[in-house]
Amino acid sequence: MTVHIWCPRASESAIKLRDALHAAGVSCFKSAAHISKRGILRFINRVRPEDLWLNWGPGLDNDVLSIIPMLNNKTGGNKQDQLITLAQHGIPCPEVFDTPAADRIGRSFKHQCASDLLHGTGKDYYTQKLPFVYECRIHIFQGKSIHAGVKVRRESDAHSWIRSSVTGWKIDYSKSHTILKDRRILAAKAVSALGLDFGAVDIGIVASGKAAVIEVNTAPGLEGSTVDAYVKQIIKLHNERTG
């Protein structure tokens, strides 16, 4: 089999996934970071019926790509659209607003690594600021929780509430056993509500124990055991398809 990763931008995680699949004996191609229309045609001309396609993050603007049977053929729109869709499906998540207020935080449609929160550049939409006491990330693949971890401080001076790798936090996957089953069920429901095949769901929990979906990442950061979890599922899916 051959795996094709559609990710026309620089992505360490997509490259790690490609290299790990190669190491497992699986032929895998990643699209170029900046790909021309001719490059797109060359890329899709590699496809065979038995191949597996993954959309790693970006939307599918090209008409030809959109008809390929690709995992995550739908990307859930921008981050504001995500929250609106989740709310429509009864998934608990921060409320969305068009205007700023003291108890709201500004976000950008395609924020990454909380850069909009750090630099105050988020002005596309605003969300309710919920007092999360901790957060977790749950990776869902084909409706199943395949890996999960808790966000913990990596540095003593980590930001008090912006829990991102660039603000001194990390995801501790050794704490997977502490994540309740209902959190995993919530994550799976969120991915399903967005019409996705896979995604990394960030969930925040307030002091009362209630959980809310913060966002669903369609190109999550991968390292170590997380890469292995995706490789295992990709190979399993291919084997199921080919019998």
- What is the C-alpha separation between 51 and 189, in angstroms, rounded? 27
- One domain, residues 57 and 172: no
- One domain, residues 178 and 130: yes
The sheet carrying 104-107 orders its strands as 96-97, 125-128, 104-107
Q: Which helix (H) or strand (E) holds 183?
A: helix 181-193
**Strand 198-206 versus strand 132-141 pairing type:** antiparallel
Q: Which burial class, exposed, middle or buried, applies to 142 when counting CB atoms under 10 A from its CB (0-12, 13-18, 19+)? A: middle
- One domain, residues 125 and 150: yes
Which amino acid is residue 135, in one-letter code?
A: E
- One domain, residues 123 and 230: no
- One domain, residues 206 and 230: no
Could you tell me the residue range of the domain that residue 13 belongs to? 2-71+225-242
- What is the C-alpha separation between 36 and 141, in angstroms, rounded? 30
Nearest one of 26, 30, 25, 24 to 12, comparing CA atoms: 30
Two structure tokens written together for 203:
């969930």
Give the pLDDT score at 9.
84
- What is the C-alpha separation between 80 and 99, in angstroms, rounded? 13
- One domain, residues 19 and 97: no
**How many CB atoms within 10 Å of residue 208?**
8
- One domain, residues 231 and 212: no
Q: Using the CB atoms, write b or e for 30-57: b if 16+ within 10 Å.
A: bbeeebeeeebeebbeeeeeebbbbbbb
- What is the C-alpha separation between 170 and 48, in angstroms, rounded? 39
- The number of distinct structural domains making up the chain is 2
Q: What is the pTM of this model?
A: 0.93
- Report residues of the chain scoring pLDDT below 70: 59-64, 75-77, 243
- One domain, residues 230 and 208: no
